[in-house]
Amino acid sequence: MQTTKLALALGLGLTLAGGAQAQPGSGTAPNTGATQAPAPQPNRPQSDSRVGQSPQPQAANLRDYANLLKEAQQRLETAVERSGNEPAANDQKAVTPAWMDLKSAAQAAYDAVNRAPPAIRNDNLYDQGSTQIRQNLGVITQSMQPENGREAAKRLLDDMRKYTAEVSRRAEASPG
């Protein structure tokens, strides 16, 4: 019995000691199954770490941008209507699907605003619109009281409508 325990202990000790060393070039750290991230490859898009910028590409021009905004606005309108009569959480305190859709649509609206083309990026319209929409998005996503979220969603939708209308007006007036 003593011999069996000793053999088992030695066997485990050797296995653990052997597993603590990483194999050269294997990409694994000792005692983990994780692999290292691959090195960046040329001609492949990398994540953009700029704060406040959308991971989506900028719109090519004002007309494309106006179309992006209209689509986001329509999605937001639908989500606001759907969530209007539904509680933010169910009896188990879980967020309802309508409120998850509202949060998603609000985030998509903000992301669409951030896809502004260079022609409008440094404009006061963009600065104000982006700031107002971001503030209302923050209330929607962080609010613990449904009334606050509903009011912020209505304000965000109103801001989105005004912003989209002005961008659309400018797009129609722009050449090309």
Stated pTM of the model: 0.65
Written as tens digits, the pLDDT of the chain (176 aa) is: 565 555 555 555 544 454 445 445 544 445 544 455 555 555 444 444 444 444 678 888 999 999 999 999 999 999 999 887 676 777 777 777 888 888 999 999 999 999 999 989 999 999 999 999 999 999 988 876 767 788 899 999 999 999 999 999 999 988 75
First vs last C-alpha separation in the chain: 89
CA distances from 37 to 19, 21, 31, 33 (A): 21, 19, 17, 13
Give, in words, the CATH class of 62-173: mainly alpha
